[in-house]
Amino acid sequence: MSHIGNAIEKRDQGPGAMVEQYQDSLAVVMPSHLQGRVAAWVRTTQGLLRRDPKLMEAAQNDVGQFLAVLMDAHRLGLEPGTEQYHLIPRWNRKKGCTEVTGVRGYQGEIELMYRAGAVSSVIVEVVYDADRFEYRPGRDERPLHDVDWDTEDRGELRLAYAYAVMKDGATSKVVVLNRGHIAKAKAKSDSASGKYPHLSPWVTDTEAMWLKTAARRLAKWVPTSAEYMRDHLQVAKEVAAALPPSLLNFPAPAPGTVDDDDPIEAELID
């Protein structure tokens, strides 16, 4: 009987059970209009753990780190384990094991721009070698990007660009990144340089990471929900204060939740 009891106790301390246990705390830091979705997000996260042994192992290695990553995703109002917010196993040299790190996806970056309420549309695209692309700062308000959709092979990724159309019709700064800029962003990413780089979205979804890098650079030039996030960070601190310190060291963002480099202060990056 004691063996069974120990097994149940161990199971109940697993990542999936802990996510459900702290569901109410995760809901507190979520945007108010999303709090009704926390149960669905918890089920999605538990499903990801069951389907991905490496993610489960990383979460088990440090449940507190895993919960901190989820807290960050919920605070931002981005669904973990989706294109909005990736959950990635990352090797921690100091611990000698993998842990879960969070990486905002390009859809997450775009969502934060829309949530601020100042933009009517956000355009984030990649350019392949076979595409036609023209943009001259000072002459062109927006890039010209022509794609031959009948072409079976558009070649290699060449550029990524992003801009927003504001609600008053004005066009934001236009960000253009070439392969060199993308390579620098990738080199600074924890998920791409760890012990398991093949699990990084830089490898599993390269185009999405090009889009994400361009979207993140654009965020400097358009209003985002940064003020809202600062308010909820304070709420997250208060929630974390009530949690067992052995489980959760928050509010400092978990290592890797803020990846890539800082926005470049230029309209056209060359």
Render pLDDT for 141-184 as a digit per residue (tens, 0 to 9). 999 999 999 999 999 999 999 999 999 999 999 999 999 999 99
User: 88 and 199 in contact (C-beta within 8 Å)?
Assistant: yes
pLDDT of the residue at 176: 97
pLDDT band of 270, cuts 50, 70, 90: very low
pLDDT band of 218, cuts 50, 70, 90: very high
pLDDT of the residue at 265: 29
Arithmetic mean of pLDDT, 84-107: 90
Arithmetic mean of pLDDT, 8-19: 69
Q: Which residue, among 57, 71, 264, has the nearest Cα to 177 in the 3D structure? A: 264
Q: What is the rounded CA–CA span in Å between residue 234 and residue 78?
A: 18
* Model confidence, pTM: 0.72
Q: Of 112-121, 166-175, 190-199, which gets the smallest average pLDDT?
A: 190-199
Identity of residue 176: V
* CB burial of residue 165 (10 Å; 0-12, 13-18, 19+): middle
